Amino acid sequence: MSPPEAHTSKPSKPTPLPDSSFQAPEILVSGMLLGFIVLGLLILIGKGTGVEWSWAYFGTHTVKEDGTSAVSFDRSTIFRNFGLLALALIGLVLATLRSYLAYVQTQTGQRQTDIANEQAKYANEQSRIANEQAKIARQGMQVERFQKALEMLSGDEKNTNTGRLAALRVLETLANEDPEFMFEPVSYAFMDYCRERTENEYKTWEFSGDMPDPQQQGRELEVDLRLGEEPRPSPDDVQYAIKALFRVRETGKSIVPEIERSISYDLCNTCFANVKLVRADLSDVIFDYSVLIDIDFVRCDLTKASFRRTQIAGGALRTCNITNVYADFWITPGFSTWKQIEQCYYIPPHTPYFRENFRVPNYLSTPEKRRGLPVGDYPIVLPPGFSGSQREARQYLLEGYRAIGWEAAPFAEIVFNLQYPDLD
């Protein structure tokens, strides 16, 4: 049952205010203009304090030919001018009042906008708090599911293989649903489970000392092989756990790459038998002091993978990137190392290191048996996108063959000539 989705409340948007025809710059200009008009009127009134205001003052003054002046006036014209002046004064007062009211309206609108912004800010904060609470609640449910899955994976005999598989699927689902929170703990849970679950198997195969004596170690296994018995495959839950580990890793690489890079993929002291890993990213994985029985790596990235003191019994490497692989393994009596290495490549100059030599095919052991290799049997091939010269290709392939231990005999030259006759 998946946890409920977090309810996210959207912040309320402030109600837009009606646009005013007056803005702050317009109010300033209008106020200055009206101020100059009032100031001019006051100056005119002040200068005319000594003038006798009569009808003659408002009349039309003319000078006759004899030098005398005559005054004529039209009262209707005077009244009209006074009326226009009165209307102008009224208009001035109204314009001043309108400017003031517009200023007050602008200030009120600004205060309302500030209040609306504060309300929106408060709503956003409330929404953030609600989201955080939903996230915490969701993480709490995931932690609870994680703990229950771990309980099902415990060593209790009542926990059947079906129950363990169900618990492992729950862990993988948790890592895929919320990789930011669950990717790291689930990855380490898979690794710890593989180690604890294969502990008994590993003890059967474990060795002590720097490099064990093949005559003293693995004798029980050798007897079993002579009797035709083979080590039993890893249980289904162990196979699921190791495969799920690298499936989850792909999710982490695409969604939380920083967390993925911080994880140490440590599979030391584990034991796997009859497992096939396909297209798995095994770069930087540590298999030190482990037991690998008939493990097939197909199209895997083994860049910088470590196999220090690892017991290898059968298995194959097919179309793998073996750049900087460190394989200081030892071979269990009765077994060869990886039975096959096919079409593997490395990125120069990071040549892989293999302490033990890979088995040379029988048809290369004597000149009369040498013939063209089947297409899939070339152990080392050019890396994807190789753009070097023929000389560089030749040097690359010869170094690769020597890395797998074919330098003791002219096998490197033989295979190279069969594989790429045109580069001779």
CB 321 within 8 A of CB 209: no
What is the model's pLDDT at position 311? Answer: 82
- Could you tell me if residue 52 is inside a domain? no
* Mean pLDDT computed over 328-350: 71
- Could you tell me if residue 145 is inside a domain? yes
Whether pLDDT at 28 is above 90: no
- Cα(92)–Cα(41) distance, rounded to whole angstroms? 12
CB 165 within 8 A of CB 236: yes
- Pick the last residue of a domain from 246, 263, 280: 263
- Could you tell me if residue 91 is inside a domain? no
- Pick the last residue of a domain from 247, 263, 279: 263
Whether pLDDT at 395 is above 60: yes
- Could you tell me if residue 250 is inside a domain? yes
- Pick the last residue of a domain from 218, 245, 263: 263
Instruction: Print the domain residue range for 419.
Output: 360-424
Q: Would you state the structure tokens that stand for residue 13, as one six-digit string?
A: 């948007």
Per residue in 131-181, pLDDT tens? 888 888 887 888 899 999 998 887 665 567 888 999 999 999 999 998 998
Angle at 236 between CA 234 and CA 237, to 5 degrees: 100
* Mean pLDDT computed over 375-386: 77
Per residue in 54-103, pLDDT tens? 555 566 666 667 767 666 666 676 677 777 778 877 887 788 788 888 88
* Mean pLDDT computed over 303-317: 87
- Could you tell me if residue 141 is inside a domain? yes
- Could you tell me if residue 365 is inside a domain? yes
List CB contacts of 202: < 8 A, sequence separation 6 or more. Answer: 269, 270, 271, 290, 291
What is the model's pLDDT at position 213? Answer: 45
What is the model's pLDDT at position 277? Answer: 95
CB atoms under 10 Å from CB of 301, counted, come to 19
DSSP 50-85: TS--SHHHHSEEEE-TTS-EEEE--HHHHHHHHHHH
3-state secondary structure at position 356: coil
- Could you tell me if residue 215 is inside a domain? no
- Could you tell me if residue 53 is inside a domain? no
List CB contacts of 362: < 8 A, sequence separation 6 or more. Answer: 369
CB 418 within 8 A of CB 380: no
Number of domains observed in the structure of the chain:
2
**pTM assigned to the model:** 0.65
Q: Residue 349, preceding bond cis, omega within 30 degrees?
A: yes
